[in-house]
Structure 1
């Protein structure tokens, strides 16, 4: 028996493209119509509800992919396989997971209006036979995993299979549908439980993805209890965590796998799954109502990391090594989720998001959005772009310190700069499933400069960049083996974090304890309105190898752009200027580099191909020599600066200290410092001192001084101040300003006047900032 496509179904599918189709029946009456309406909303978001010539490019891409799947389909029961390149006998290959992904591709072609195979019953019959084959040979309730990846069994296949069944629903025999979904009773019965590893409670993206699969199974089989189970599991996820471990934190951090920053990968999956569930179940008997935190998450966790539709690689973890998943893919998934949420978002959020998303889409015309995003998302994006009442929003600006995941992002109107650190709390780099094999230094202070070149990070950078020379890092040039599966390196130091002042200035700092090397260093970054000042001190090693600090390593695609040099400065046309501030000289290396995606990702289902790709690189580095004892560096990165501005920059900032106790700078009315321990630094107005570890920003103007502790980016004047303790070792820090403090006018809890100084109770604040306005 098949499920005929009703006129109401078609209309609901059309409306769902905009995420507006609503179940308008009484909530207490859970009849078949409620299940069908929710399912059809989901199909509409995936495949669109009606053909539109404006989406012909996308429709052709969907049809081409589906036809390729259909054309190559050659069932071989004796092997067994559905496609010759995906033998199914050994589940450890992951081929069964890839086979279900192909079935989803075929189903999408069948369900998408405008394709030649749209609702072709011959194609549906072929799909039914293929799904029967997979149930018998690859995925049923009596099989054993044989040590294969649990994710494929409990999330990968359930998500692909439920999507496939939803897309093909009107062409499927009901008894077959129940048969194919039966394995999910064993492998994905509960969003909160991991079947393959009893005792593991699912968190973050894994729980959200499982909730989506469980909810879809409930809709397909008309089982209200499954949908309620999924809803309850997601509702529990929406509350911020205080850590440690997985989830979203109050400061916007997102952690997955206990210790890794993953906003741009697992975090996006989480947001997408929750947004889909909200849209799918809206106005249904299972509507998710406790969703306020989801809207805050968009502003707090995602907007700072999206640059013109690109998701910053510093929060994508091992995903950066996947050839088929670039920064624009993650960015698009985040955009899709936000567009989906817009339909239900309260107006204050929607008023912010519409211009913001429109700005991302309008500025990034190079990204092939129409060929990658689902039709429902394309419809929402196009409607937004064509809406004259919505302005094109500017780029997000501000300084964001994510103390709970050792990340700092500094954003100006035309550029952005991100810093990836690690500590005893946050892992340096994750390698799993033979992915991210050469990500050795991505968490050792790597810096990410974003400019108007929106292809820099996604144009085959990761297989071609020298992995020993990542920008911002100080490295031992020893040979390295590929990272092993599951290695979890957390440097044995608490020191990583920073502070921001007025959302405009910042300080970041980390203590470097190198992996497998005696190399040690103290690294600090001072984030200004037009520059980033990088200081390093205490650089020492004793292994008989050369030590380098990488100022820049820029992918310039298929050419070497003009480069200018002078006494202590380098200017790379179209990128930035680089000024050496301590009289040192820099080496500049320009060369073509060739690599293969397969070299950095050999994963069973993600592996890159072996085709060589070549890119041009300009590398700027400081050579500290072999076995330095107390080496230092000081340089400025000047995005968008001209060669003339770069040459003249050295006098624009004063380095007050670059020692093992204090690193500090001053410029105009601002002081910024990293106190690694108790210390004092002389300023033009007198000594600045702290009696314990902290990062500090002070901004002084004619009227007031603001103070912030536990956040490394505060300034002085009459006087604003911000303080944090990234080491999380102090209980209280006393800050003595160059001017006697007469009163504390405004402050966070824990800031008080102490004689002519200020004391800040940083204990228990987990590296977050304390701010104050004081009179001095």
Structure 2
């Protein structure tokens, strides 16, 4: 390997060192070695490096090692410092921080450092590469990131999180090849820009939460380890320990039901939440067996179970909780999933038995089934080694997919998981934002929180990540009812909270669920009541009261499926449609559905023009099959009823309409029944006739009732959060309440359920009838 390193080092040194004053060790670090001395700092730092670069060379990972080396070589090859011009690379001029180029520059330095520190690369611990890197860091300190520079309206995140994380990683990876006096100089700006994980320097008064605090804690901890300052490490540890406490809301943090909110009103388990989990898991591993060990970590295991496991399907992170990151070309569902898997594998090493016994088979199942996007194409070397060890462990079986129905009342999300498929619903309300657009990302995410549905099947693990977001028709997202007007790009920071409290649902026995939301469209007179009934083999979708008066057509989108490079076979019958390899769709009210099959072309740049995330302008094309119920222009109390039958055959689809009965579909009640199950949404007090008698509720609620002989299992919630108590009269007279949550009691021959203060969460009971 040959590089013109000596010339570059000389240029870098001449450009950067001039004018740099010697820097004395800060007073805060004096006598900071503390318990364990320097060895404790070095051991923790080396653990961090092993998490990033692996501990030793293994020829089994030659391809991944070459990829790391290739990225590092590209950084070196393109480096071309020119005297008098503030840039290390011609495509990243550093004269205007608003471009974000300085943040990109430090990310490139991290890639170079990773190549240097990774065993098996041709540049591993090459002193010439370390010398070039040191010169580059001098240059960046002088021209891009130091204490006295003016942000000039650039993104605070780059200054306080992006660069600190990349810079501390770079210094840790290159540590043994760097002059220590210069390392301290490069880290000096962090005393100004990232001094405390809990503070936001650029916006005084803002207290950091969630992923931002965890990321800052990583940077502060690493600076402490690199400069042997125990107080910084303790500060980071304490900030993370506080994060592990659940919040009661409103606002950012983890909730008891598994919800995770960032930016006050947005569900973000799959983006900011994953960043949080990754940082916390690595901090726990890095500081283990050190004087600063994070001991209060019990909640992190429960957080994994409640907040992450339900959203991972064969290693993919569901897009319904990835927020605006769905529009970022370099962050697909498998990237987020990989980070979550890596964090879980890191935690697994020390997890309590009750967690490890479940996690090991689950993760092994994900890694085994998902060969569409193999883990080793996106994971770091250390993560791959842990994954390979798990796969090779004969004592850990390949676990099946999780099953269950999960209602996240605190973030308006519902997930229904069956053995071969999963279905998620994204809603919004006066509590939860419909879609976040920030930093010019997610420009066409208008309807992603308006009842959009996400179907995952084991037969196609690339549907959501194969260039879907730039090519799908953003006006026809599955599950939504939309006014077909044209829309402008979502503006930066716009926060839309629909003016209704109605969004949520209820689950029963981990096998059945109900979800419902009142749609109040943005910038339109469109109103609708939307409900989903989640069964063991199907999802029944009902819509009622669909009304608009703007002179435009209104549509409900049953499905909009990315079928990649071709249109698969499609079969139609009387009231049903079957899309080969995906699902069957049965119309339950005799309505006609329109099928559109088209090849669509788009660019990632169309939906993300962000300074550091913006997509490229290369056109990409995909084939789509779209199924639509057309409500016409200015509908008046229109409705729809259809069933989604994942993995069903055409024969099963044709026969399904006889399997379920729609009991009601109006603005007061939406309800279905099948066999021994009744599921209903009461938008207000009302009743519905069933095969067994009348079901009545005297207030708003969602409910599931399943009869087994003389027992009925009952689950009730109030997604509107407006009632104090709901009285429910079942089709069968109630004799007694055998088992019940607090606030459920018998009232004459009915059941009274206290829902006030429940924040939309369920109350369950077993009653004798």
Shift of 1:369: 2.2
- Whether 1:389 aligns to 2:395 is yes
Which of 751, 756, 760 in structure 1 is aligned with 2:749?
A: 756
Residues 575 and 703 of structure 1: CA distance in aligned 2, closer, same or farther (over 3 Å): same
Q: 1:151-203, CA deviations, whole angstroms, 9 ceiling, x for partnerless residues?
A: 00000000000000000000000000100000000000000000000000000
Q: 1:340-379, CA deviations, whole angstroms, 9 ceiling, x for partnerless residues?
A: 1111111111111110100000001121422321111110
Aligned to 2:734: 741
Contact kept in structure 2, 1:57 and 1:370, CA below 8 Å = no
Query: SS of the residue aligned with 2:757?
Result: coil
- Whether 1:769 aligns to 2:738 is no
Which of 650, 655, 660 in structure 1 is aligned with 2:662?
A: 655
Counterpart CA distance in 1 for 2:376 and 2:645 is 35
Query: SS of the residue aligned with 2:564?
Result: coil
- Whether 1:322 aligns to 2:328 is yes
- Whether 1:313 aligns to 2:306 is no
Structure 1: 5+ residue runs without aligned partners? 1-26, 705-718
- Whether 1:636 aligns to 2:643 is yes
Aligned to 1:409: 415
Counterpart CA distance in 1 for 2:85 and 2:600 is 42
Aligned to 2:133: 127
- Whether 1:542 aligns to 2:534 is no
Aligned to 1:569: 576
Q: 1:402-436, CA deviations, whole angstroms, 9 ceiling, x for partnerless residues?
A: 00000000000000000000000000000000000
Aligned to 2:231: 225
- Whether 1:529 aligns to 2:536 is yes
What is the RMSD computed on CA atoms of the aligned residues? 0.7
Question: TM-score scaled to structure 2, two decimals?
Answer: 0.95
Query: SS of the residue aligned with 1:271?
Result: helix
Aligned to 2:561: 554
- Whether 1:360 aligns to 2:366 is yes
Contact kept in structure 1, 2:168 and 2:222, CA below 8 Å = yes
Contact kept in structure 2, 1:552 and 1:619, CA below 8 Å = yes
- Whether 1:251 aligns to 2:244 is no
- Whether 1:166 aligns to 2:172 is yes
Which of 97, 102, 112 in structure 2 is aligned with 1:96?
A: 102
Contact kept in structure 1, 2:327 and 2:470, CA below 8 Å = yes
Counterpart CA distance in 2 for 1:370 and 1:569 is 41
Which of 200, 212, 216 in structure 2 is aligned with 1:210?
A: 216
Counterpart CA distance in 2 for 1:48 and 1:680 is 63
- Whether 1:450 aligns to 2:443 is no
Aligned to 1:14: none
Query: SS of the residue aligned with 1:646?
Result: helix
Which of 491, 501, 516 in structure 1 is aligned with 2:508?
A: 501
Contact kept in structure 2, 1:57 and 1:371, CA below 8 Å = no
Counterpart CA distance in 1 for 2:656 and 2:58 is 54
After alignment, is 361-370 or 51-60 more displaced?
A: 361-370
Counterpart CA distance in 1 for 2:637 and 2:668 is 13
Counterpart CA distance in 2 for 1:336 and 1:387 is 17
Counterpart CA distance in 1 for 2:158 and 2:66 is 29
Counterpart CA distance in 1 for 2:227 and 2:384 is 29
Counterpart CA distance in 2 for 1:578 and 1:266 is 35
Residues 733 and 77 of structure 1: CA distance in aligned 2, closer, same or farther (over 3 Å): farther
The 5-angstrom pairing of residues 31-430 of structure 1 reads 31-430=37-436
Counterpart CA distance in 1 for 2:499 and 2:569 is 42
Query: SS of the residue aligned with 1:663?
Result: strand
Aligned to 1:721: 714
Shift of 1:77: 4.2
Q: 1:95-114, CA deviations, whole angstroms, 9 ceiling, x for partnerless residues?
A: 00000000000000000000
Counterpart CA distance in 2 for 1:86 and 1:335 is 33
Aligned to 1:711: none
Counterpart CA distance in 2 for 1:742 and 1:593 is 59
Contact kept in structure 2, 1:107 and 1:164, CA below 8 Å = yes
Q: 1:722-770, CA deviations, whole angstroms, 9 ceiling, x for partnerless residues?
A: 0000000000000000111110000000001111100000000000000
Q: 1:514-561, CA deviations, whole angstroms, 9 ceiling, x for partnerless residues?
A: 000000000000000000000000000000000000000000000000
Aligned to 1:664: 671
Contact kept in structure 1, 2:560 and 2:624, CA below 8 Å = yes
Q: 1:651-682, CA deviations, whole angstroms, 9 ceiling, x for partnerless residues?
A: 11000000110000000000000000000000
- Whether 1:438 aligns to 2:444 is yes
- Whether 1:589 aligns to 2:582 is no
Counterpart CA distance in 1 for 2:722 and 2:185 is 57
Counterpart CA distance in 1 for 2:744 and 2:183 is 63
Contact kept in structure 1, 2:546 and 2:639, CA below 8 Å = yes
Query: SS of the residue aligned with 1:625?
Result: strand
Q: 1:685-733, CA deviations, whole angstroms, 9 ceiling, x for partnerless residues?
A: 11100000000000001141xxxxxxxxxxxxxx100000000000000
Question: TM-score scaled to structure 1, two decimals?
Answer: 0.94
Contact kept in structure 1, 2:34 and 2:230, CA below 8 Å = no
Shift of 1:648: 0.7
Contact kept in structure 2, 1:272 and 1:337, CA below 8 Å = yes
Contact kept in structure 2, 1:326 and 1:458, CA below 8 Å = yes
Shift of 1:285: 0.1
Query: SS of the residue aligned with 1:556?
Result: strand
Contact kept in structure 1, 2:367 and 2:374, CA below 8 Å = no
After alignment, is 344-353 or 749-758 more displaced?
A: 344-353
- Whether 1:600 aligns to 2:607 is yes
Counterpart CA distance in 2 for 1:67 and 1:463 is 31
Counterpart CA distance in 1 for 2:314 and 2:298 is 25
Q: 1:248-304, CA deviations, whole angstroms, 9 ceiling, x for partnerless residues?
A: 000000000000000000000000000010000001000000000000011111000
Counterpart CA distance in 1 for 2:726 and 2:303 is 31
Aligned length: 736
Counterpart CA distance in 2 for 1:379 and 1:368 is 14
* Runs of 4+ residues over 4 Å off in structure 1: none
Counterpart CA distance in 2 for 1:758 and 1:77 is 81
Contact kept in structure 2, 1:63 and 1:115, CA below 8 Å = yes
Counterpart CA distance in 2 for 1:537 and 1:79 is 64
Contact kept in structure 2, 1:61 and 1:371, CA below 8 Å = no
